[in-house]
Homo-oligomer: A and B are copies of this chain.
Amino acid sequence: MKVEVITIGDEILIGQIVDTNAAWLGRELTRCGFEIAAITSVGDCQDDIIRAIDHAFERADILLLTGGVGPTNDDITKHTLCRYFHTALEFNDEVLQNIELLFLNRNIPLNQLTRQQAYIPENCRVIQNRVGTAPILWFDKDGKVLVSMPGVPFEMRTAMGKDIIPLLQERFQANEYLQRSYLATGITESALATRLAEFENKLPPGFSLAYLPSFGYIRLRLSAWGEDRKPEMKQLGRKLKQLLGDHFAGKGEKMPEELLGEKLRKKQLTVATAESCTGGYIAHRITVVPGASDYYEGSIVSYDNRIKEELLDVDPGTIDVHGVVSREVVEQMAINITGKLKTECGIAVSGIMGPDGGTKSKPVGTVWIATYCDGRILSREYNVGRSREENIERTANLAILQLLKMLSRK
């Protein structure tokens, strides 16, 4: 079933915000068995929105609009939809009640501008916004569907997850969509494709395998339609996992930091980090997971080399002999951080993220990562690339995955 997404707002076109809604929708809808044909971003302009809707309905059955539904003048989506569907706004009491309740809970007085949000197009079905004031509007047209929802990520995600996706599945999917995902690490996409070529060629009709490479890992997604394929799916999944061998790092759609969190929680272990070149980004990635405080204790970010000696007790002689970007230094960092923060596990990184600081023997992108757990230590050198932001991203993933794999082997 083809879906097109239209995100509305000048702020997207002028690059003031990165359109994370589009990526989230793409990921969730694909995961639920819908195919995204295109994503279009347009400004706060009625003609542009109508043009985009017309183009999208040329081939999509489902059209999802986000944004332009706030209480201010430049939020014009509902007026545009009235024009498109040749209808007018009417006052909806239930929407007002929903808004009033929300304001009551937040202890804010309701103003006239916000009251306006209870005016909605006559011919649509309303889905109440569970966490915000702008209602979700559902339109049916010649067997196709258009849904307008807020652009605020938290509101959009709540509406999609709790209301819109279940309704779309009920309406458009007679069949069950099956899928299994596997996270692979320590192998390039081309090497993985070679390794899996035979498996892929021999897949039964209706099954497909997608490669989703990211910084430092590749996600593989095996999918098929129909509940009757479940036994086959199970068998193929098992086979795929086997073929991945030592490169298998986890099952499902979770991020590396979520997989690590689950593993630590299951094994009742705690972890701390000692970061140099990633400057706190590994700590951030671990703590962005709700509930991370159950297993994450903290970090020492030793951006300056002096801090490595003073707070992490790295031996100055080791730094002199081997340099700060070395196996010896990250191993001391990993061991010492677990001692200082009294954790079982430790992650330590030191590297050169660029654009400057590279040398002939240690060019930009050189990184040493050490992971430690209960007396065992693993340290590896990586070369992550040339762009600073991507290097930080890749190093964080590699470090998190290195500890995850170490704990999985235990």
Interface residues of A (CB under 8 A from B): 11-20, 22-30, 36-43, 48, 52, 55, 131, 153-154, 210, 212-214, 219, 273, 275, 278-284, 286-288, 290-293, 296-304, 306-307, 311, 340-342, 354-356, 386-390, 392
Contacts and interface: CB of A to CB of B under 8 A. Distances in A.
Nearest to A52: B38
Contact of A14 (B30, B131, B154): B30
Given A16-B213, A279-B299, A293-B303, 14 more contacts: A13-B39, A15-B27, A15-B30, A17-B214, A18-B18, A18-B23, A36-B43, A40-B41, A275-B280, A279-B283, A280-B284, A298-B311, A300-B300, A307-B341
B297 A299 contact: no
A15 B19 contact: no
Contact of A41 (B14, B38, B292): B38
A284 B287 contact: no
Please report whether the interface of chain A is mostly helix, strand, loop or mixed according to DSSP.
Answer: mixed
Contacts of A287: 279-281, 301, 303
A11 B292 contact: no
B303 A292 contact: yes
A52 B307 CA distance: 53
A38 B30 contact: no
A300 B297 CA distance: 11
Stoichiometry, copies per complex: 2
Contact of A340 (B22, B311, B340): B311
24 contacts: A11-B213, A12-B26, A13-B26, A13-B39, A14-B30, A15-B24, A15-B28, A17-B23, A18-B19, A38-B40, A39-B40, A40-B41, A55-B55, A153-B387, A153-B390, A279-B299, A280-B284, A280-B299, A281-B281, A288-B388, A298-B301, A300-B300, A304-B341, A311-B340
A156 to B, nearest CB: 11
Contact of A154 (B214, B390, B392): B390
Most B CB contacts (10 A, CB to CB) among A42, A292, A298 go to: A298
A184 to B, nearest CB: 14
A36 B14 contact: yes
A191 to B, nearest CB: 14
Most B CB contacts (10 A, CB to CB) among A36, A40, A279, A288 go to: A279
A116 to B, nearest CB: 15
A341 B312 CA distance: 12
A27 B16 CA distance: 7
Nearest to A24: B15
Nearest to A357: B293
Contact of A303 (B42, B297, B304): B297
A27 B18 CA distance: 10
Contact of A16 (B19, B38, B212, B306): B212
A316 B392 CA distance: 35
Contacts of A301: 273, 280, 283, 287, 298-301
B279 A288 contact: yes
A300 B303 contact: no
A230 B269 CA distance: 62
